[in-house]
Amino acid sequence: MTTVDADPYAAYTEQAEDYDVGWAELDEVLPPFTAGLLAAAGRLLATLAYRDALDYGDRPFKRRSPKARHRVLAKLPTDCDRQDQAFRLRLARSLNDLAGDIEAGRAPLPRCTGERHALELMIDCAPQLLACSDAELRQLGIPVPDTSDEYDYHAPYWDPVWSEFIVDGAEDSIPEAQATAEDQDQPEPPPDGWTAPRFWFSPYGITTVRDPGRRHPDWVTASLDGSEVVEPEPQEFARAARLLGFTDRADPWQAYTDEYRDEGRCLAEVLTPLGAALLEAAARELVARGYEEVVAYGDRPFDRDAAEDDYSEDDSDDGFLALLPPVCDGQNAAWRLAMVRAVNDLAEDLRAGRAPLPRCNAEEIALHLILSWAAALLEDLDDPQVAAEHGVPTREAFTVRHRQFAQMRETFLQDDDFMMFYDAGMAEVAGDPDHLAMRYLHVGDIRPPSWWWTFGNLRPRDAARGFDPRVLERLASSPALRFTGPEGVGEPEGSDTIPVLSAGLVEEFELFVGLAQRRFFDRRCAVAMARSLARLLTAFLDAPDLHVHRVWMLGQCAVVGEEMLIVDEDFSIDGHRHTWRLHADQTDGQARTWTLRLLADCSTKILLQYATAAPELLLDMDHKAPPPVDQALPQTLAERSRAMGQSTTLAGFLRYRRRILGVDVGDVAEAAILPSAVVAGWEAGGPAAPSQLIRCAPVLQLPEAVLLTAADGRRDPGYWPLPAIRATAHGSEGAE
């Protein structure tokens, strides 16, 4: 890049004094590395913009075309889609003009709105060049930072470029916006404003006009004169598109939820492809060590003193379990297996070109291990043999841009609260969520059993992604596992006699039970419960001739609009033996027991009234004969009630959690290293041993305490939300 000894802001005219223009020292706004990136981006964009102008000519640009995303035209406002070839050629030349200003040591001052958009494009695309190797940057004429200390380097800041060179309101200085005579007022802006595409190349009055005789590049002129597009160099279009990230298909930030995604971030500013390769190599080695130790230790507590002796005997580095905080030493094999997979998941992100964004506390620890291991591995890469074994270049290739470990931590981690477990003085505090310091800092529960819930600003991982079959095969024969046994373990007694319940009955039962747990029993909740109860009784009876509403037609029934409910105005219902008042604020276990008793009593009343043709049914009004009641129905209802009783809080929670995560019983059992029949037994209402149940926490992506709470008959709405009450089309209440 050449530099001239001239005023970098010489293009400003006297009229610029009426605007808020920047006059900062050019090397402060555009230091050599930043300037080189911006100029190179301008040249590459110009190449692609010229290609687009030659390809499309005067034809409209169709954004829905499969190849549209690889076009510079796709990055312009939609108002530009129908502009002609001359417009597109001028835009391409604007990119070259600004790049030329930078290369000549001048400030890239936009001389028109077209150049303003060109500069904005250059600023947006320049960070993509950070993904280049150092050799590629040098080929582009970009000076590579030569500092060796990562703390002395940072990716270029682009905000100063915007604020110093892009002048607000500069479009008001174009000739069309000026009065034609001194005694006339300034014309009103048109409806589409002075920034409309038709004014893009009207020169600003605040800057001097460029030489109107400047030409397009020779290869463009040759293409315009000929019948075919001629590339400036072989494969130059493909190279420019690749370097600018136009061909990238992976969204590096896709793990973020829509609310937290920032489309303007460039991964290469923090993590270059070469840096990602280093991290992936470190993760790959950690995963191999981790799986070996999971098989070897199984469920046995990790003895650090004994392990240290083993490591010293074979002259190896620390093992995987030793790298975890001591608070993890007593975790079970399923927890350890998931911890190794957390490292592997981040390695998969790196291999796919995604940012290694930890989705939970376990993955934050995993990223910490990867970064620490990568820093140590880097020191060993002076040996070409070590570098070859890991599939990465030797140490000298990793200049400061490719090893920004501190910046990676700051960018990818939510926080580093977990580091307290590595501090002997803070570990006890970190292990007590109720400690005053933890409460003051709003840290929450960061103990290892709670490491698996997904952060709110990130998407959960696919819970059914499974494990390496070779690891599972070795684990199955490990003598260090605590739980082994035949597939029949855990099935409840008599499960073969339990009838299969209809999906509608199960769904309505869970809905009513959920409504009975709502914190406030207001009218909206009461109406939703009354409606659900009527549907629940209907599904429970499964007898079309037995109409539930007829049994409770008489009396002071509650009314919503024109609808009469089966409860009275106090939201009570008379059963066969008891009067049941609807209410909420129950635990899940209480709600299930209460609902089953309510169902049994009310269904008995229905059967008796129909069996005796009770006058309350008002059958005479319709001149109907009493429908016969199946003599086997009472026994059938008793069996259904028993089957519904098997739907414990834990069973309902496991089914719900599996459904939203998209996993089956086999997936859960595999991750928990348990026989499938054990998990199936829990869902069939069987008892669960806490030491077995907590092994499912990682695959179900929740804290162990939530599972234990469910086993105790209590529901955590944070992981199993209560039914929402919505307004129906008639303004009344419904539930879902």
Residues β-bridged to residue 735: 725
Cα gap 47→51, rounded to integer Å: 6
**Among 643, 447, 616, 440, which residue's Cα sits nearest to residue 540?**
643
Q: How far is CA 707 from CA 682, 701, 702, in A?
A: 12, 11, 8
DSSP 344-401: HHHHHHHHTT------SHHHHHHHHHHHHHHHHHHHHTTSHHHHHHHTS--GGG--GG
For residues 61-72, average pLDDT: 88
Judge whether 690 and 548 are in contact, CB under 8 Å: no
Of the given ranges (179-193, 290-304, 327-341, 458-472), which has the lowest mean pLDDT? 179-193
End-to-end alpha carbon distance in the chain = 65
Long-range pairs for 37-40 at CB < 8 Å and ≥24 separation? 37/126, 37/127, 37/129, 37/130, 37/142, 37/156, 38/99, 38/102, 38/108, 38/122, 38/123, 38/126, 38/161, 39/1, 39/99, 39/102, 39/103, 39/141, 40/99, 40/126, 40/129, 40/140, 40/141, 40/142
**In this structure, what token pair is assigned to residue 11?**
């293009």
* Pairing mode, strands 572-574 and 563-568: unpaired
Comparing CA positions, the residue from 572, 629, 563, 617 lying closest to residue 598 is: 572
DSSP codes joined into one string, 52-86: HHHHHTTSPP-TTSTTGGGSGGGGS-GGGTT--HH
**Tokens at 97, concatenated:** 């003009």
Q: Is the pLDDT of residue 315 over 60?
A: no
Q: What pLDDT was estimated at residue 488?
A: 39
Average pLDDT over residues 40-56: 96
Q: State the pLDDT at residue 485.
A: 41
Question: What is the rounded CA–CA span in Å between residue 197 and residue 84?
Answer: 11
Q: What is the pLDDT of residues 106-157, one digit of tens each?
A: 999 999 999 999 999 999 999 999 999 999 999 999 999 988 888 889 899 9
- Determine the distance from the C-alpha atom of residue 84 to the mean position of all C-alpha atoms in its chain, rounded to a whole number: 41
Q: Output Rg (C-alpha) for the chain, integer angstroms.
A: 35
The answer, yes or no, to whether residue 490 has pLDDT greater than 80, is no
Closest Cα partner for 558 from 588, 528, 602?
Answer: 528
Fill in the amino acid letter for 683.
Answer: E
From residue 9, alpha-carbon distances to 24, 160, 209 in Å are: 10, 15, 14
Given this model, what pLDDT does residue 70 score?
86
Bridge partners of 733, per DSSP, are 727
Q: Which residue has the higher pLDDT, 685 or 616?
A: 685
CA distances to 325, 339, 419, 511 from 369, in Å: 11, 11, 11, 44
Assess whether pLDDT exceeds 70 at residue 484. Answer: no
Q: Which residue's entry shows tokens 């981040």? A: 346
Rounded average pLDDT over 211-215: 92
- Give the contacts of 35 (CB within 8 A, at least 6 positions apart): 1, 102
Question: Among 69-78, 267-276, 553-562, which is the least confidently predicted range?
Answer: 553-562
At 455-483, the pLDDT tens digits run: 999 999 999 998 989 898 888 888 878 77
Residue 306: per-residue pLDDT = 84
Segment 518-548, tens digit of pLDDT: 999 999 999 999 999 999 999 999 999 999 9
Q: How many helices (H) and strands (E) does the chain have?
A: 29, 6
Dihedral sign (CA 434, 436, 439, 445):
negative
What pLDDT score was predicted for residue 487? 41
User: What local confidence, expressed as pLDDT, does residue 489 receive?
Assistant: 42
CA 117 to chain centre: 32
In the structure, what pLDDT confidence band is assigned to residue 735 with cuts at 50, 70 and 90?
Answer: low
Amino acid at 716: D
Strands (E), 199-267: none
Rounded to 5 degrees, what angle do the CA atoms 377, 383, 389 make?
70
Does residue 650 register a pLDDT over 70?
Answer: yes
Position 384 confidence tier, pLDDT thresholds 50, 70, 90: very high
CB 734 within 8 A of CB 726: yes
> How distant is the alpha carbon of residue 662 from its chain centre?
16
The band of 268, judged by pLDDT with boundaries at 50, 70 and 90, is very high
Cα–Cα distance list, 585 to 503, 567, 732 (Å): 26, 19, 22
Average the pLDDT over 505-528 and give the result: 95
